[in-house]
Structure formats: C-alpha cells, structure tokens
Amino acid sequence: MFSLTPDRSAVLQALADTFIPPLPDGSPSGSAGVNLDKLQDAIREQPEGAQAEFGKLLDLLEKPLLGLTWFGPLKPFRKLEPAQREQLLQSWASSNVPQLRKGFQALRKLCTLLYYGGSMAAVPAAWGRLGYPGPDEKPVDTPKPIRTLRPTEATTYECDVLVIGSGAGGGVVAGELAQAGQDVLVLEKGPYCHGCDFTQREVDMLGKLYDAKGTLSTQDGSIGILAGACLGGGTTVNWAGAFRTPDYVLQEWAREHDAPHFTTLEFKESLNAVARTIGVNTNYTRHNGQNQALWDGSTKLGQEVKLIPRNEKGLSDSDTHFRSLGYTTLGDAHGIKQGTLNTYLLTAFEHGARILADTKVDRVTIANGRATGAEAVHTTEKGQQIRIIVKAKRVVVAGGAIQTPALLLRSGLKHPHLGRHLHLHPTVVVGARYPQAMNSWHGPSMSVVNDTYTQLHGTNFGAKLETPPTHPGLLSMVLPWLSGQQHHELLRDASHLGSFIVLTRDRDGGRVTIDKNGASLIDYALSDFDRANMLEGVRAAAHIHVAAGATQVYLPHGTLPTLHAKDGVLQNPEVLDKLPHLSWKSNQFGLYSAHQMSTCRMGGDAATHPLKLNGETVEVHNLFVADGSAFPACSGVNPMLTIMALAHFTAQGMKAGRSVEARAEVV
C-alpha cells in the first residue's frame, strides 16, 4: 500500500509550490493549501499497480537521475531552483514520452484539486481571491429517513432479492420489487449521507461520495472518470439532467442489437413511470451565467436550444435555492433533487427492504449455474471490517459500468464481451472569459442544451453542448497549466469564466478488466472518428461563446490555444482552424467522463451480448444486471433516466417472471 515517507511529503510540497506559486497580492502558495493526508488517501484508492507507479514517480523526483528526463541538471527536484522546477514540469507536459505526460498530469491534478477544492479544514484563502463564496449556510439537521443496517460482527442475511448498488439502476429495482412484496436487501459500497452530511466542499465530498475519492481514471491517466459511490449512487451527485433517450438511439438499439423491447409501449411506460416518480420538470425560473450564455449565443447563431428537464421538487425562486442548486453535484443538502435516495430507496425501505451501506461486494456466489447470493465486507463506523454473507434467490448487480463487469469477472463469469464496449461520452471543457461576472457556481449546473451537432454527417454520432459545474477544484483541473503564475492568475478570474462542455456520443469503445486483486482496470483511447466529432463540437462551442459576448475563449488543449473576440467578432480564426492539426495524444489535453456505459450489454445475440433481453446474464441463471452497463451502446444523452427506465422495465419482468420476448408489444 502506498505511503508517504518524509522525503515523498517534502517533494510533494515542493511540487505544490511550483504548480501554485504565491502571488504578490498575498495568495498563498500550494503547500499551504494541500492536505497530504487526503492525497495519500486518494492514492490508496487506486489499483495496486497504480499505487506502486505513483510511489516510483515521487522517488524518481528525489534522485539526481531526474535530470535525464528533461536534459537538465543532474539534481533532485528539491535541489533545483524555482525556475528550473517549473521548466522540468513544462518539459514533462509536452514530452514525447507518455509516462512523463501521465506523471505530470497526475501530479498537477492532485495538487490543484486539493488546493482549490479546500482540502484543509479552514476556508481556503484562495476562495476569497477567486470570488468564490463556497456553499451557503448549513441546512437544519433532520433525522435520516432511512434506517440502515449496522452489523458489528460477521453476519449472514437471507432474502428473496439481493440488489448490489443503489443508484439509478439498483435503487429503482429495490423500490419496485420491495413494493411488490419481495424481501429485498440492498448492499451499497459507499456511505449513507443526508442533509448536513453534505458539506458541499469539493475535496470532502469527492472523497466521500465518488468512486476512488473522485480520482478514478483510465490506466494511462488521460481520462478522469466521475462515478457516484454512495447511497443513491450517481443520482445523488449528478447534475440533475433528466433526458429521455432519443428515439433514434432506441431504434438503433432495437435494430442493431436485436433488442426490440426498446421500441415497445412497455418501455415507454417505464420511461414515463420513472419520470413521474422523480419529478422531472422544467419549472425552474433562472439560468446561471454560463447557461444564459449558451442560450443567447446559440440563439444569435440561429441554432435551436432547449430547456433541460431536471428532477427537482420543492424549488422556490429564492436566491437561497438558486445558489444552492450549483452545489448539488456535491450532495443536495436541502433535499430538492429527487434521486433514488429521496424516492425509490425510501419507498423500498418503507416496504421492508433492508439497506446496508459501506459494504463492498467481493463476489457473487454461484452454484449449479445459478446465483445464490454474495460475499462482502462491511466497514463499521469504528473502521472495523467484518464479513457479510448473503443468501438470495435472485441477485441484481447495479454497480455501474466500471464496477459491475469487475464484480462479474471476480465472480467467475467469462463471457468474451464482458467488460468490452466501454462507452464514456468523452467530454472536453471549452471555457471563456466574459466582461461581466458569471458566478457560474450558482444556479442549476445544466439547464440549457444545444443539440445541433448530435447527428453529424448522416450518422447517429456527434456531440451535445451543455454546461458543467464550475467549482474551483474541478475548474483548476480542466484549465490547462502552462506555468504556475499563468494558471494561478487564470483561476483568479474564475468569477468571470463561463464554460461549455462538448459531450461526445462515442462510436468506438474501451474495456474494463481486473488486476490480480480483482480491482477494476480501465482502458480507453479516443478514436480518430470520435475525436473529429468532438472537435466539431469544440468549434461550435467557441463560436457560441463569441456570439454570447466572450472576449477570450480557452480551447481544450494542453498548449492553451486562446481565441480573442471583440464585439461578437472572432479576431484570430486561424487559431480555431489549426486546432484539428495539433497533436491529440493521451494527456496532451483534458478528457473527462461522467457517464460510463455498455460493458455488460444487452442484446438478442448471446454470442456477443452478455445479457439476455430480460436483464439476466446468459451464463448464470437468476443473476441480473440493471445499470448503464446493460445499454447496448451509449445513450447519447445524460443516461440517468434511461438507466432508471431500463431498471424499471427489468423489475417488471422480474415481478412477472416472464421473458421479455413474451411481453414485447411494439409501438
């Protein structure tokens, strides 16, 4: 297990001061705001091989041989002059050696996130200088409405249905089956948080609510992956966008994957049912600065924009509610967002379901070709780890498209397509500076969408233009670093920054495997086809920023190509024209994913699809999957509502005990 020695701690402090130097106005240097204990905790969440690699990277920085990596003096990092330290990091950032680019990005992202995201107990001094107010007052503490199990010793449970995972898939299945009278047990890897448990500070909440403490990534480090790992899963931390699956995607799934149920009346009824339950609406009254810019710029260019349906209830037009909406990706302290935590899981509990949080499932148990339960480890409030055995008649796995295939592989499933076809909706951020204050950390993170570019060149593939949360920790990771002063000053302008995301429906996928310890390993390389579509979206986003009144547009490449505009007219279009001709190797640009799909895909051909059309695995009877991994391909929209609808549809079949083919009624 990775550990911080005194030498490693010292070199990390020197790195933090290089990435984030002090400014003349008194902005403190990086080491004053980076909590190394939290950094160590984040590294320990990585697979064993990645932990060892990070340790070797820090040890290299303590050796004179370090000089060979950048043709500089043969001195350890701490013995270099400040200017030399910066030159070394700049050399690594643009190196032709993939491992050096990976090392640079890992160190940069950790240091900047911990500094700007508030890893110290005190309110970060940097926040005031950014104009970032941080989360509002704490809500009134209210009792937790769900009483979870709290075993203190090794325990065996028996149930009709074991549900592994509690997000958009698992939560819905649990609620539906418990309400139908079945004895349901839910196991969730993450904690149960409610109300004022959600401090809404980035580092705290990323560490508590997200898989790998918010540091999940591909093996090469080039794609940062955000996945919920708490009770309610992704529905607790997502951006509240409740998109219906596009008809052209459902038709594609039915046609290309021999899955006709996606175009049936019953599936549409499942979409309607979950939308009603989670309160999908467009009744909000205000946009924040960057959503208004997306609306205004698109409209000026003659492009259609739409309001994004959101799953919120009890929302007023007060400034308090408006401000608080910007923080709900870090947990909704006011209970406005209607994720499974406030809907299906509550229903499940009220109908007798038992829920056990802080419990990691090691494997599903299988006997005579049938699922019989699971073996897991529960961590008590005191940190003690105890064994949990579950005996179940049926098992539903809903751990998300990264952890579900990893669990099935650990459990001995061997389908050749299990873990393959990983889709990520790879996403880049196009930021811009506006003359007026944007304060984009307030208000709905996403309330406007531009779908002009979703079906490019006569295909079903392209990009959506939306807006992301823009809290300073995440913002610091996505904005390119050219030098310590440049990056620090760019973040100082955060209150005037507005950002759009280019969310790409990827045609070509990656893969999830496991290491010798059973930990998930993620491999994904953006294909030329998908990158070309992404860059068309980037060009479109840049023009919309300019039309909306931005004066500078920061393009999503490590060299930070910058567009300049005046009075709505782009002054240096040649920079935009050159963008596709830059080098787009891994870790030369920032790529992110908040949507993971299709690693245990459903379809009519058992040779190429690990799931039957009713959600049951083709290898093991009574073992079902109900999450985004079951998608035949990616949804092309934020997938929460589609996952919930598919889980609802699967649950109806489990209630009836009938095959999906017998239930299909095509509309």
Q: Give 490-525 pLDDT, tens digit per residue.
A: 998 999 999 999 999 999 999 999 999 999 999 999
Token pair for 243 = 């998109």
Residues in the chain: 667
DSSP bridge partners of 466: 501
How far is it, in rounded angstroms, from Cα 642 to Cα 648?
10
Q: Work out the number of other CB atoms within 10 angstroms of the CB of residue 153.
A: 9
Assigned token pair, 418: 């299990």
What is the predicted pLDDT for the residue at 661? 46
Pairing of strands 562-566, 552-554: antiparallel
pTM: 0.96
User: Does 637 have pLDDT greater than 80?
Assistant: yes
Residue 141 confidence (pLDDT): 80
pLDDT of residue 658: 56
Angle at 3 between CA 69 and CA 126, to 5 degrees: 75
Whether the per-residue pLDDT at 187 is higher than 70: the answer is yes
Of 595, 609, 621, 648, which one is the catalytic site residue?
A: 595
pLDDT given for residue 109 in this prediction: 97
The answer to whether 600 and 405 are in contact (CB under 8 A) is yes
H and E: helices and strands count for the chain:
21, 22
Confidence grade of residue 537 (pLDDT, cut at 50, 70, 90): very high
261 is catalytic: no
Nearest to 529 by CA among 587, 477, 459: 459
Over residues 541-568, the mean pLDDT reads 98
Q: Across the chain, which distance is largest between two alpha carbons, in Å? A: 73
How far is the C-alpha of 487 from the C-alpha of 490, rounded, in Å? Answer: 5
pLDDT over 90, % of the chain: 91
pLDDT computed for residue 662 by the predictor: 43
Q: Are 3 and 40 in contact (CB under 8 A)?
A: yes
What does 606-627 look like in DSSP terms, one character per residue? TTT-SB-TTSBBSSSBTEEE-S
Asked if residue 16 lies in contact with residue 29, where contact means CB atoms within 8 angstroms, the answer is yes
Residue 301 makes CB contacts below 8 A (sequence gap 6+) with: 543, 544, 547
Q: How far apart are the first and last CA of the chain?
A: 55
Find, among 234, 327, 293, 593, the residue nearest to 448 by Cα: 293
Please compute the mean of the pLDDT values over residues 367-392 and round it to a whole number: 97
What average pLDDT score do residues 569-581 get?
Answer: 97
Residue 664's pLDDT is what?
45
b/e string for 6-40 if b means 16 or more Cβ within 10 A? eebbbbbbbbbbbbbbbbeeebbbbbbbbbbebbb
In the predicted model, what is the mean pLDDT of residues 219-236?
A: 98
> In what helix (H) or strand (E) does residue 355 lie, and over which residues does it extend?
strand 354-356
* pLDDT higher than 90, residue 250: yes
Give the tens place of pLDDT for each residue, 316-356: 888 888 998 999 999 998 889 999 999 999 999 999 999 99
Give the residue carrying structure tokens 């040890």: 59
Query: What average pLDDT does the chain have?
Result: 95
What are the beta bridge partners of residue 503? 427, 464
Q: Are 77 and 89 in contact (CB under 8 A)?
A: no
In this predicted model, what pLDDT tens digit does every residue of 383-425 receive, in sequence order? Answer: 999 999 999 999 999 999 999 999 999 999 999 999 999 999 9
**10 pLDDT tier (thresholds 50, 70, 90):** very high
For 151-171, the pLDDT digits (tens) are 999 999 999 999 999 999 999
* Ranges 331-335, 373-377, 439-443, 522-526: which has the least confidence: 331-335
Hey, CA dihedral for 235, 238, 242, 247, is it positive or negative?
negative
Average pLDDT value for residue range 209-222: 97
Short-list 23, 30, 202, CA closest to 129 = 23
Q: Is the pLDDT of residue 667 over 50?
A: no
Cα–Cα dist 47/522, whole Å: 11
